[in-house]
Chains A and B, each alone.
Chain A
Amino acid sequence: MGSVTIQNLVKRYGGLEVLHGIDLTVEDGKFVVLLGPSGCGKSTLLRMIAGLETVSSGDIAIGEQRVNDMHPKDRNIAMVFQNYALYAHMSVRENMAFSMRLKKTAQAEVDERVNWAASILSLEPYLDRFPKELSGGQRQRVAMGRAIVRNPDVFLFDEPLSNLDAKLRVQMRKEIKELHQRLKTTTVYVTHDQIEAMTMADQVVIMRDGVIEQIGTPLDIYDNPDNLFVAQFIGSPGMNLLSGEIVQGAGGKMFQTGDVTCELPQNSAAMVGQKVLYGIRPEHLQASMQGSGLSATVTVVEPTGPEIHLYATLAGHEICAIAHQRLDWKPDDELKLNPMVDRVHLFDAETKVAIPAG
């Protein structure tokens, strides 16, 4: 009943097309995150689902019902806004009860629903306070409470955590996920924060310039990016990319850039002579102080606590490796790097599309 189906959805503002034929199915009860840089159209897509933006062409259905021309209030959705959008002149209780007051719900039921939502969100002590008397996290919880009291078919979140400080963001992230696990309401969540997307989503939808670049589970997207954009967008520090070409080596096809050659996975579909980008994530570059491997020179050392980020130059390329041993790395040290061959990604230099590993 709470699935969302989007078919060939287009949004134009005058002559400017911002969404170019989006197809997406959000299954009932799933937590889907729309992820992308600012201006990619993710918020527009969410607002179209909410009914706050008109549909230029294509279809949106919630459950079995086509909702293109339906007023937001008739879609049985609830939305949490980036800036909370609370009713400042109403108490927390009134904020949460507002939608039921409009529906003229019986007072007993209103009280029951509000108390239920307040208990889930630990808002009981604040029910008679006004939004201005609450902290940022509490306000965000009120906004969520306003959404859950209605028992909607779909929850829509528009960057709900981006106004919170880092610590609170981690806490609220967990709370939203717990809430979803408990209520199992279909959720569409917009963010530009890849950590939020990775940690919360059942499915991540990566968008750029009004098109969907890839849809998949967080780990699938991380491990098997379809194209260069997705590979670069996901992961921090980002994937290392070296441009070069495929050459025939002694043991099979090899990647070559300058005088550096790297092994490729067996059965790689890359063809000899093809111009490619060689991608490897920092944690898949094993760094050591001596031994065999590619020689690089350390430029910056960043200890983060659990690991150490080593920035280095390799054949004129800036690269990053993650080391877990607490060795005494220093700038200008020589570094030996061994890429994990089965974790290598290849992208065609022209089309930027991933070349299958085999």
Chain B
Amino acid sequence: MHDSTLKLTLRYLVSILIVGIFVFPIAWWGLTSVKPISAVFDKDRIVVFDFEPTLENYRVTVLGYSKRGSKEDGKTLMGTSGNNSYDGRSSIVSSVIVAVGSTLITTIFALLASYGLSRMRFWGSQGYLNWILSQRFLPPVAIIVPLVFIFHDMGLRDTHAGLIIAHTLINIPIAVLLLKSFMDDIPIDIDQAAMIDGATRFQCFWMVILPMVKGGLAATAVLCFVFSWTEFLLSLFLTSSIRTIPVKITTYVTSTGSEWGYISALGTSAILPSFIFILLVQRHLVRGLTMGAIKD
């Protein structure tokens, strides 16, 4: 009895420690975003909680108030016309458009490709998979210069569509590989049973395989979304007026200093949409969707 209590306590302690290690940076970031500048840059001590919290950083970056106008009494909304270079609203919108768009396109393409690769034998199917994967061997920075030219010539530079395409291209290999492994877990007997039951290839995919691979699809979508949401390099080079959040944040590092308050405020706000997205799909993120289909 005593032994098991000790074990349980230890187990909790270790869990709390590990969770703490992961949560601390985010919590500190969140805390920084509500600190006045004096609390962020206190050279004598580390300010943890003893400061007067302020929402100024959020007013400027997320609500679009101008830097000065957001001071306590200010109600003037100067930043909304574009004068406020710290206004992060349009970059949040851009990030959402790009991330949702590229996630949607990636998962649709990857779903069809992985079904084909998992279920159909065709000449070169093995080599094909390696070829898809090889698209990720090269770091994106190595192709950035030709990519900028190509996108420019095609009129895709500095457009949402262009960035969506770029992110889709980067995401597809991983998404295909991941989804294929989920599809491979579903025995081919299920497809064959469906076809004997009278299903066409498409009906088999749509009515039988797709519902069974839902969990894998959700996992893939989350990965793609998070990648696109946090992607920096391609966004930096392929856009100039459209600014996704990671690129926008770097503009807060100016010649006159880093605006830690704004950086942390926009950074903390940026967690929210991806958090909501993951919440939406996580109920599908359960293992064992194929349970019961075959002898375990």
Interface residues of A (CB under 8 A from B): 50-52, 71-73, 77-79, 81-89, 98-99, 102-103, 130-134, 136, 139, 146, 150, 163
Do residues B189 and A102 form an inter-chain contact, with CB atoms below 8 A? no
Contact call B211/A73, Cβ cutoff below 8 A: no
Please, which residues of chain A bring their CB within 8 A of the CB of B208?
87
Cα–Cα distance between A146 and B194 once the two chains are bound (Å): 10
When chains A and B are docked, how far (Å) is the Cα of A146 from the Cα of B189? 14
| Bound complex: CA A102 to CA B211 (Å) | 16
User: Judging by beta carbons under 8 Å apart, are A84 and B197 in contact?
Assistant: no
Q: Say whether B283 faces chain A, with CB atoms less than 8 Å apart.
A: no
B31 part of interface (Cβ distance < 8 Å): no
B182 to chain A, nearest CB (A): 13
B193 at interface by CB-CB < 8 Å: yes
Shortest distance between the CB of A200 and any CB in chain B (Å)? 21
A87 touches B190 (CB 8 A): yes
Could you pull out 28 A-B pairs where Cβ atoms are within 8 angstroms?
A50-B196, A52-B195, A52-B196, A72-B192, A73-B195, A73-B199, A73-B200, A77-B196, A79-B192, A81-B189, A83-B294, A83-B295, A84-B293, A84-B294, A84-B295, A85-B192, A86-B190, A86-B294, A87-B190, A87-B293, A88-B291, A89-B211, A89-B289, A98-B207, A102-B199, A102-B203, A103-B198, A132-B288
5 closest A-B pairs by CB? A132-B292, A131-B292, A88-B293, A83-B294, A85-B189
* Contact between A136 and B295, CB atoms less than 8 A apart: yes
Please, which residues of chain B bring their CB within 8 A of the CB of A150? 197
Is A163 touching B295 in the complex (CB atoms < 8 A)? Answer: yes
Give per-residue flags for B276-296: 1 if the beta carbon is below 8 A from chain A beta carbons, else 0. Answer: 000000000000111111110
- B178-204 contacts to A (CB < 8 Å): 187, 189-190, 192-200, 203
Interchain nearest-CB distance for B50 vs A (Å): 54
A98 adjacent to B197 (CB under 8 Å): yes
Q: Are A83 and B189 in touch, CB under 8 angstroms?
A: yes
Choice from A73, A131, A139, A163 contacting B197 with Cβ under 8 Å: A73
Are A132 and B291 in contact (CB-based, < 8 A)? Answer: yes
**Which residues of A have CB within 8 Å of B290?**
88
A131 touches B293 (CB 8 A): yes
**Cβ-closest chain B residue relative to A98:** B197
Q: B212 within 8 Å of A by Cβ?
A: yes
How long is the Cα–Cα vector from A85 to B293 in the complex, in angstroms? 5
In the complex, the answer to whether A85 meets B187 with C-beta atoms within 8 Å is yes
CB of B84, distance to nearest CB on chain A (Å): 50
In angstroms, how far is the closest chain A Cβ from the Cβ of B214? 8
Residues from 192 to 228 in B contacting A, C-beta threshold 8 Å? 192-200, 203, 207-208, 211-212
Kindly state the separation between the CA atoms of A86 and B189 in the bound complex, as whole angstroms. Answer: 9
Which residues on B sit within 8 Å (CB–CB) of A52? Answer: 192, 195-196
B88 to chain A, nearest CB (A): 42
Residues 240-296 of B contacting A (Cβ, < 8 Å):
288-295
Categorize the interface residue count of chain B.
Answer: 20 to 34
Besides the contacts A51-B196, A87-B208, A102-B197, what 15 more A-B pairs have beta carbons closer than 8 Å?
A50-B196, A52-B192, A77-B196, A79-B192, A81-B189, A83-B187, A87-B212, A88-B289, A89-B211, A89-B212, A130-B292, A132-B292, A136-B295, A139-B292, A146-B197
* A134 cross-chain contacts in B, Cβ below 8 A: 292
Please give the distance in Å from B187's CB to the nearest CB on chain A. Answer: 6
Within 8 A of A (CB), among B62-111: none
A81, closest chain B residue (CB): B189
- The answer for the CA separation of A139 and B296 in the assembled complex, in Å, is 12
**CB nearest to B193 among chain A residues:** A85
Q: Which residues from chain B contact A163 at a C-beta distance below 8 Å?
A: 295
Task: Name the residue among A51, A132, A136, A150 with the largest chain B CB count within 10 angstroms.
Answer: A132
A75 to chain B, nearest CB (A): 8
- Nearest-Cβ distance from residue B207 to partner chain A, whole angstroms: 8
- The reply to whether B196 and A102 form a contact with Cβ atoms under 8 Å apart is no
Q: How far is the CB of B286 from chain A (nearest CB, A)?
A: 12
Complex interface: chain A residues within 8 A of B294 (CB): 83-86
B203 surroundings in chain A (CB, below 8 A): 102
Q: Nearest CB to that of A101 among chain B residues?
A: B207
- Contact: B292 with A133, CB < 8 Å? yes
Q: Give the interface centre of B189, B196, B288 by most chain A CB atoms within 10 Å.
A: B196
**Chain B residues near A146 (CB-CB < 8 A):** 193, 197
- Report yes or no: A72 in contact with B289, Cβ–Cβ below 8 A: no
Question: CA separation between A85 and B290, bound complex, in Å?
Answer: 10
B residues within 8 A CB of A81? 189, 192-193
Q: Mark B150-180, 1 if CB is under 8 A from A, else 0.
A: 0000000000000000000000000000000
Residues of A with C-beta under 8 A to B194: 87, 98
Complex CA–CA separation, A83 to B290 (angstroms): 12
Cβ–Cβ contact A71 & B293, under 8 A: no
Least CB separation from A102: chain B residue: B198
Contacts of A79 in B (CB 8 A): 192-193, 196
Report the minimum CB–CB distance from B219 to chain A (whole Å).
17
Query: With A and B bound together, what is the CA distance between A150 and B197 in angstroms?
Result: 8
* C-alpha spacing A133/B291, complex, angstroms: 9
Q: How far apart are A54's CB and chain B's nearest CB, in angstroms?
A: 11
- Cα–Cα, bound, A38→B16 (Å): 53
Collect the chain B residues with CB atoms within 8 Å of residue A130's CB: 292
Distance to closest chain A CB from B125 (angstroms): 15
Cα distance, A83 to B197, chains bound together (Å): 16
